[in-house]
Structure 1
Amino acid sequence: MKVLFVGDDWVGSNARSLADGFQQAGHEVVVIDTTAVTLPARLSPPWVYSKFAHRRAPWDVEALHRRIDEAAREFAPDLLFAFKAVHLDQRRLLAAPAGLRVHYSPDDVSNPYNTSPDYLAHEREWDLVVTTKTHNVAELEARGARRVKFVRSAYDPALHYVSARRTVRRHLVGFIGAVRPDRQDLLISLAREHRGDMLLRGPGWRRVRALWQTGADVGGAVYGGDFSAAVAAVTANLVLLNSDNRDTHTCRTFEVPAAGGLFVGPRTGEHAELLADESECFLFDSPAELREILRRCTKYPEQVAKVAEAGHRRIVTGHHRYVDRAREIVDALA
């Protein structure tokens, strides 16, 4: 098929990886980058406008739609694929000439933060709505979505791979992800306990005052090869979920083992389906159980290395790449 892919195109973006997945699956893909609308530069006029008006800058939205319209007329796509395009003009987006129209959301579509009134008013006009949350399927159907497809998150072999360490030091425990209230207290507590043996990477952690005197290795967001190198520097890589999305798995569920990291995460049904507890990963229900896992990592490093290797094999041989998800979506359209 000819696919006009509307989504963020920065390096490390899940949208970019999925667009590449469609190309790798044999389709002809043209990407229209939405980053200027979805992630305006901090303190720029569009960013300031969005904070006060609580919507995206109309001049950027208009410029983006002109690009989409022009590309659709020239390219004549069989499929218009929109990756979380809730901030765009839905009527205009759906009017772009294309054979089929698919909207994909990587987040909980019952969380108002991940939708917009305009998107909700036109949701049932999409030929297919794709979600990565099992609980969203029935909710989307109840809202009148024409057709719904559940696919899991994925990893990108170009970004998530076994990497050599860039530091001599190896941290006992680490987490790569943004600051969130539902994970902050646990990670601050672990940083106080493990100090320099803990690594934190992601947006916002440098601004958390409680971490400043812990001695933990704290840094900003990492993507691509930098992500894989950070995973390689940690024995126990925490995979923590987003309670606002009611996550039962996340992108890190696949990215951490794909990069060769030991998966240590909450015990959910999906995690238990994807990886075998204690032989391919370590799952926990409480902070006390997590701390016991970390003690085992300290006491039995050779055993946990074998668990990490088994988890890596399970994920990379299990059809969990973005190209596999692209094929699932195309199969649903067929």
Structure 2
Amino acid sequence: MSLALEKSSGNCGEATSLRILFAGELWNGSDSYAYVRALRRAGHSVTAIESANFMPTGWRSKWLRGLRRFLEPWLIAEYERELIDMARHLSPQLFIGFKANYVTPAAMHAIKETGAVAINVYPDVSFMAHGPRLPKTLPLYDWVFTTKTFGLKDLESTLGVRSASFFPPAYDPEVHTIVALDSADQALYQADVSFVGTWQLKNEQLLSALQTAAPNATIKIWGGDWHKATAPNLRSAIQHKTVLGLEYSKCVRASRINLSPMRDRQVGASSGDLITHRTFAMPACGGFMLHERTPEITDYFIEGKECALYSDTDDFIAKARYYLEHEYERARVAEAGRARALRSGYSVDARVQEVLSRFEIIAAQKRRSSGVSESDDPFNRGTG
């Protein structure tokens, strides 16, 4: 399948670029930005509008956060106006909301009035834990992709949404790749065990238990909210910084073991994570992944050959000790995990093709219902 939509009329072999309006985060290393870049690699014109341009996310002081909460209705209204104005200006064929929890129902109605097919890609555990707008806007999309298998049941039971399907998270080939490490990178990121992610109590307890059992092991913890940790033996491990973009890849490559625990169940969700972004990103970086055992992880990677799995704290400690002592086996698993990620279509480019295929199906259905001839539409490839 071609990466770009081919014209059914005009010069043979020409590719037509879709006009896509995209609502999502654009920070370096975000899953959302990976989709934007993959769509552009596929030859499409993507206008991306980020809510952070209207609602500052970097304000740290309590006073500024309080001011943002007070101003939020007006900030969201500005964001809404920008989305509506851009949609009316562009007349996009496709609107993609990546999570898009600040998009309002009014903006959704206005965007769809331009004739755009609206698709949401939803990467999180719960549809109910990220503000009051999502439960109102998700039913307005023509299709919702969820990266959680249990998300399909949750969508229908909580929001009545049935026009939905599952696909797994993905790695970004521009970011999650083999990166050469210099001496400064090694000094900054080298560790026996690394964890990159937001604080959760269970992750703190897991890493604290490992540090107690293996006091000479070098542990490094990167991510937000780790000021909440109370374990004294993790004070030197917590870096109080995040790693983004290629720095994430360097961190994974420099660590002998990369921990991949799953997020707990949230309000409105029937399950916690069973697979997540790091399930695919870590192997793609060429790192050794020690992943929490779930019913789904072995659908994607073979235990003991392409990843390692742990079931509980004792098992985690035992596996960490084993693989720290078996360098050759650890390297072999990391190499096989990367090869599996590359050959099995786990990249964001493959996910984008699924989004574009769904767009074509919905667009064709809308043309038929409106009486527009398939041959009259320059974006038709004959997909029904």
Q: Same fold (TM over 0.5)?
A: yes
Residue 253 and residue 182 in structure 1: after superposition, are their counterparts in 2 closer, same or farther (change >3 A)?
Answer: same
Hey, what does 2:84 align to over in structure 1? 69
Q: Does 1:204 align with 2:219?
A: no
Deviations 1:26-74 (A, max 9, x none): 32211111124383522387731455x6xx7122112212221221122
Give the greater-gyration-radius structure (CA).
Answer: 2
Q: Does 1:133 align with 2:148?
A: yes
Contact kept, 8 Å, 1:172 with 1:198, in 2: the verdict is yes
Q: In terms of mean alpha carbon deviation, does 89-98 or 129-138 score higher?
A: 89-98
Note the 1:182-331 alignment, pairs <5 A: 182-192=202-212, 193-194=214-215, 197-205=218-226, 208-211=229-232, 215-216=236-237, 218-245=239-266, 246-331=272-357
Contact kept, 8 Å, 1:126 with 1:145, in 2: the verdict is no
Residue identity opposite 1:188 in structure 2: S
Residue identity opposite 2:146 in structure 1: T
Residue 123 and residue 216 in structure 1: after superposition, are their counterparts in 2 closer, same or farther (change >3 A)?
Answer: closer
Contact kept, 8 Å, 2:51 with 2:102, in 1: the verdict is no
Residue 197 and residue 101 in structure 1: after superposition, are their counterparts in 2 closer, same or farther (change >3 A)?
Answer: same
Note the 1:19-38 alignment, pairs <5 A: 19-35=36-52, 36-37=54-55
> 1:195 Cα shift?
5.0
> 1:88 Cα shift?
2.9
Deviations 1:247-283 (A, max 9, x none): 0001000111111110101111221111100011101
Unaligned runs of 5+ in 2: 1-17, 267-271, 362-384
Contact kept, 8 Å, 1:248 with 1:269, in 2: the verdict is yes
Hey, what does 2:180 align to over in structure 1? 164
Hey, what does 2:201 align to over in structure 1? 181
CA distance in 1, matches of 2:154, 2:225: 32
CA distance in 1, matches of 2:299, 2:162: 29
Contact kept, 8 Å, 2:119 with 2:141, in 1: the verdict is yes
Contact kept, 8 Å, 2:108 with 2:140, in 1: the verdict is no
Hey, what does 1:85 align to over in structure 2? 100
Residue 220 and residue 98 in structure 1: after superposition, are their counterparts in 2 closer, same or farther (change >3 A)?
Answer: farther
1:6 to 14, 23, 32: 23
Q: Percent identity of the aligned residues?
A: 26
> 1:207 Cα shift?
5.5
Contact kept, 8 Å, 1:46 with 1:57, in 2: the verdict is no
Contact kept, 8 Å, 1:258 with 1:315, in 2: the verdict is yes
Residue identity opposite 2:239 in structure 1: V
CA distance in 1, matches of 2:211, 2:168: 31
Residue 296 and residue 40 in structure 1: after superposition, are their counterparts in 2 closer, same or farther (change >3 A)?
Answer: closer
Contact kept, 8 Å, 1:154 with 1:322, in 2: the verdict is yes
> 1:213 Cα shift?
6.4
Residue identity opposite 1:47 in structure 2: R
What TM-score do you get using the length of structure 1 for normalisation?
0.90
> 1:209 Cα shift?
4.3
What TM-score do you get using the length of structure 2 for normalisation?
0.79
Contact kept, 8 Å, 2:252 with 2:258, in 1: the verdict is yes
The 3-state SS of whatever aligns with 1:153 is: coil
> 1:13 Cα shift?
1.6
Q: Does 1:152 align with 2:168?
A: yes
CA distance in 2, matches of 1:217, 1:196: 14
2:60 to 42, 65, 70: 42
Contact kept, 8 Å, 2:169 with 2:277, in 1: the verdict is yes
Residue 34 and residue 280 in structure 1: after superposition, are their counterparts in 2 closer, same or farther (change >3 A)?
Answer: same
| CA root-mean-square deviation | 2.3
